Amino acid sequence: MYTILKYPLEQISKQELTLPVNAKVLAAMEQYGEVVLYALVDSSAKDKEVYTIYMYGTGDLVKAKWNDYIGTAMLHSGALVLHVFVTKH
């Protein structure tokens, strides 16, 4: 059975996130003042995969591939804008 789950992210430039195998990362955005990632996952999957999440502010040098982009989160009434990218190991 597939479920869309929410994963809170830290507001740091690089972090790892473990998801069920074959998860489909859908989006990243702001919710209630924090950055969250949404993924479609097989809730019965026993195996896990590691994903690396990168966050860049507007004007930052981006080291991730452009096609790994999953969303933008605007925090503090737009004073902090974070662009989120993901890669799977």
Per-residue pLDDT of 21-37, as tens digits, reads 999 999 999 999 999 99
How far, in Å, CA of 15 to CA of 4, rounded? 21
Tell me the mean pLDDT in the region 54-83: 91
The CA–CA distances, whole Å, from 52 to 1, 31, 44, 49, 76 equal 25, 20, 23, 10, 25
Q: Of 11-15, 30-34, 65-69, 78-82, give the lowest mean pLDDT range.
A: 65-69
Q: How many domains does the chain have?
A: 1
At 63, is the pLDDT very low, low, confident or very high (cuts 50, 70, 90)? confident
The pTM is what? Answer: 0.91
Domain that holds residue 36: 2-88
Least confident interval from 37-46, 58-67, 71-80:
58-67
